[in-house]
Amino acid sequence: MHPEPTTTDPRGLLASVFGFPGFRPGQEEIVQAVLAGRNTLAIMPTGGGKSLCFQLPALCRAGVTLVVSPLIALMRDQVRALRAAGVEAGALTSGNTEEETEAVFQALDEGRLKLLYIAPERLASAATLPMLRRIGVRLIAVDEAHCVSQWGHDFRPDYLRIGEMRRMLNVPLAAFTATADAETRDEIVARLFDGQPPETFLRGFDRPNIHLAFAVKDSPREQILRFAAARKGQSGIVYCGTRAKTETLAQALREAGHLTAFYHGGMEAEERRRVEIRFQQEDGLIVVATVAFGMGIDKPDIRWVAHADLPKSIESYYQEIGRAGRDGGAAETLTLYGPDDIRLRRSQIDEGLAPPERKQADHGRLNALLGLAEAVQCRRRVLLGYFGEESEACGNCDLCDRPAQVFDATDAVRKALSAILRTGEYFGAGHLIDILTGNATPKVRERGHDGLPTFGVGRDLSKPAWGAVFRQMMGRDLVRPDAERHGALRMTEAARPVLRGEAPVLLRQDTVDKAAPRVAVKMQVAEEDAGLLSALKAKRRALAEAAGVPAYVIFPDRTLIEMAEARPQTLDAMMGITGVGAKKLESFGAQFLSVITGAGEERLHPARMRLAGRDAGAIYDRLEEEQVRLARGEDGIGKHLSCTHATLRQIAERRPSTLSELAQITGMGEQKVERFGAAFLAVLND
């Protein structure tokens, strides 16, 4: 049995062990809750000092504190720092040498170890639970608790075992994350705390030393190169939306004389680790990376973070810029965005496998980020407002430096809302802009939209300028893409007072002016079919993942494009789509049809399925109707008779023209010929 140390004063240990004169705002009450053995969820900003909130109580409490953390590199760094401060800590990870693991177990057996860091995959081992019981674990701390969210890019399946581990050990649990959205919080409570709400702390999201800035894309490579050139010799991160872009942009920065490396999930683990170590150790290195880079990077002197593409949500943006300036020194950020970014982020959400309510929440988070991008007042006020904190104008963002030029856009917004409503909230921005600017495309004419009162009422603005207006309307959440209607814009409640003339709308003049015509991205389908194509791709992805095959094995892109454009309403019509053969119709037809129609899956009898898309299919359906009508004779009181599906199929295929030919079909006896013969021949001769 391990000796029970007496509880020590946390303030005294804060000074004597960690050398801090006092707690940061919000830390002390979290420490007290954990120390008291209460289940705790702390949502703290990146760089907000969360590790102290479980390390300090671990020193004050009896027994061992188990720390579950997703990143080996971060665990090693924390163990090293604790040991340097004189604290007995150890880690059990796949990165350990045999000697390191032996030393950890020896310290545990001797009752010396206070903090045991463990990789989540070790929780799957049957030997782990008995070992944790034996060593006297009295508290579980979970770092990066958002890894339990199945819809986040940091999801770790082994994190789902932690809740069970808490129950089996019957100890309190303290969970920490920098992800503040309500859905992730609910998932953490459900999976780690069995739905019993822990004591929750939402603390201090302001990082006043970080300068915030956004810019509309206008030759983005040059914008990034200019930003980096003004900060030459300083460590920075450039986040990109694609792996390929990290490599090409890193090359451009290298050619401009910067010390640069790239980093993405497609690289070998060893190569990635090499970049991480270089970034930790070398001064002035720029890493051009996807979001795979950053979790576990504990470098205090990152001086700037730039986004070459729009992040996926306001939380992602906050976490990524939060990697700068952790030493409290001045740090700068720049985020570039444009209409293509918004379209890409929307389609990523729509094509994902998340349930509809999660997709809606993701669109909401993206809208919040767009609202920040198109803000007309201090950005920090907008950002902190999203996290539920109030602040005065900060004096440390681009809009405090140089106030935005705004104009009264009430009239333009009302015209846009009118176009949305008059077309039944069924179209995307591209088609609506054609109507507003009086561009009579074949699609506009086909639907009679050139006859609408709103046709041509917006000729005073160019197409790109209208694009900027719609982008800002989305950012203000006046309009929102409707997942049910495959991304068509619909009006929100917030827009009703504007439409009624009861509320003015101010928009950014500068971002409208900068909306110059650009080379259009080649879309696979017309804009109003793009949402449906995204939904069909999401279905294809789910089926492909379930079967463990590449997506094209289910259907190639061209088949899905044809489905999105033709929108078949029946399985017969589906059979007419290029690439849909009899076997694929049987395997997948009903599921894709339900995506297109929004109805339940239409199931056909296998005998009828073999006739799909052929004339015989329609004949079969009419024969079946006649059979149901005459099941008890013309008068409805006869003996019940029916033909099998196989018999109906043979009649539909062979098309007998006389009663004697009909009698030769398998399954057609004398009674059935007498009951159904005349009606069946009438169908066949029609």
What are the residue ranges of CATH 3.40.50.300 in the chain?
A: 10-202, 210-337+383-399
The most confident of the ranges 17-31, 145-159, 303-317 is 303-317
How many CB atoms are located within 10 Å of the residue 7 CB?
Answer: 12
Q: Which fold has domain 406-513?
A: Arc Repressor Mutant, subunit A (1.10.10)
Could you read off the pLDDT of 362-391 as tens digits, one per residue?
Answer: 887 888 898 899 888 899 998 988 877 888
Supply the pLDDT for residue 326: 81
pLDDT for residue 202 is more than 90:
no
What are the residue ranges of CATH 1.10.10.10 in the chain?
A: 406-513
pLDDT for residue 648 is more than 50:
yes
How is residue 100 annotated by DSSP? H
Name every residue whose Cβ is closer than 8 Å to that of residue 12 and which is 6 or more positions away in sequence: none
Q: Minimum mean pLDDT among 1-15, 187-201, 237-251: which range?
A: 1-15
Q: Minimum mean pLDDT among 5-14, 288-297, 372-381, 654-663: which range?
A: 5-14
Could you read off the pLDDT of 80-138 as tens digits, one per residue?
Answer: 888 878 889 999 988 888 998 999 999 999 999 999 999 998 988 889 999 999 999 99
pLDDT for residue 5 is more than 50:
no
Average pLDDT over residues 546-569: 84
Give the model's confidence band at 307: pLDDT under 50 very low, under 70 low, under 90 confident, else very high. very high
Give the model's confidence band at 1: pLDDT under 50 very low, under 70 low, under 90 confident, else very high. very low
Give the model's confidence band at 405: pLDDT under 50 very low, under 70 low, under 90 confident, else very high. confident
Average pLDDT over residues 210-238: 93
Q: Is 130 exposed, middle or buried (0-12, 13-18, 19+ CB in 10 A)?
A: exposed
Select the more confidently predicted residue: 432 or 670: 432
What element of type H or E holds 432?
A: helix 429-436
Give the distance, in angstroms, between the CA of residue 280 and the centroid of all CA atoms in the same chain.
29
Average pLDDT over residues 307-322: 90
What are the residue ranges of CATH 1.10.150.80 in the chain?
A: 539-603, 615-685
Give the model's confidence band at 3: pLDDT under 50 very low, under 70 low, under 90 confident, else very high. very low
Supply the pLDDT for residue 518: 45
How is residue 360 annotated by DSSP? H
Q: Are 386 and 368 in contact (CB under 8 A)?
A: yes
Supply the pLDDT for residue 287: 96
Distance CA 243, CA 617 (A): 49
Taking the whole predicted model, whether its pTM rises above 0.85 is answered as no
Q: Minimum mean pLDDT among 243-252, 516-525, 548-557: which range?
A: 516-525
Q: Which fold has domain 10-202?
A: Rossmann fold (3.40.50)
Supply the pLDDT for residue 395: 93
Distance CA 67, CA 89 (A): 10
Select the more confidently predicted residue: 204 or 11: 11
Give the chain's mean pLDDT.
86
Q: Are 178 and 187 in contact (CB under 8 A)?
A: no
Give the model's confidence band at 2: pLDDT under 50 very low, under 70 low, under 90 confident, else very high. very low
What the block records as the tokens of 64 is 């061992």
Distance CA 625, CA 471 (A): 52
Give the model's confidence band at 269: pLDDT under 50 very low, under 70 low, under 90 confident, else very high. confident
Q: Minimum mean pLDDT among 91-100, 344-353, 454-463, 653-662: which range?
A: 344-353
How is residue 614 annotated by DSSP? S
Average pLDDT over residues 223-251: 94
Which CATH number applies to 210-337+383-399: 1.10.150.120, 3.10.400.10, 3.10.290.10, 3.40.50.300? Answer: 3.40.50.300
Supply the pLDDT for residue 210: 94
Supply the pLDDT for residue 196: 93
* DSSP bridge partners of 490: 480
How many CB atoms are located within 10 Å of the residue 359 CB?
Answer: 19
Give the model's confidence band at 54: pLDDT under 50 very low, under 70 low, under 90 confident, else very high. very high
Q: φ and ψ at 63, to 5 degrees? A: 75, -170
Q: Which fold has domain 539-603?
A: DNA polymerase; domain 1 (1.10.150)
Select the more confidently predicted residue: 168 or 357: 168
Q: Minimum mean pLDDT among 143-152, 167-176, 209-218, 594-603: which range?
A: 594-603
How many CB atoms are located within 10 Å of the residue 238 CB?
Answer: 25
Average pLDDT over residues 385-408: 88
Supply the pLDDT for residue 129: 92
Select the more confidently predicted residue: 6 or 606: 606
Give the model's confidence band at 260: pLDDT under 50 very low, under 70 low, under 90 confident, else very high. very high
What element of type H or E holds 526?
A: none
Could you read off the pLDDT of 494-530 as tens digits, one per residue?
Answer: 899 999 989 999 888 877 776 655 444 445 667 677 7
Select the more confidently predicted residue: 172 or 292: 172
Supply the pLDDT for residue 450: 94
pLDDT for residue 327 is more than 90:
no
Could you read off the pLDDT of 412-447 as tens digits, one per residue?
Answer: 999 999 999 999 998 888 899 999 999 998 889 989
**545-554 as b/e, with b when 16 or more CB fall inside 10 Å?**
eeeeeeeeeb
Name every residue whose Cβ is closer than 8 Å to that of residue 370 and which is 6 or more positions away in sequence: 337, 342, 471, 472, 474, 475
Supply the pLDDT for residue 213: 96
Could you read off the pLDDT of 438-476 as tens digits, one per residue?
Answer: 999 888 998 999 999 999 999 999 888 898 898 788 777
Distance CA 354, CA 158 (A): 19
Q: What is the CATH number of domain 615-685?
A: 1.10.150.80
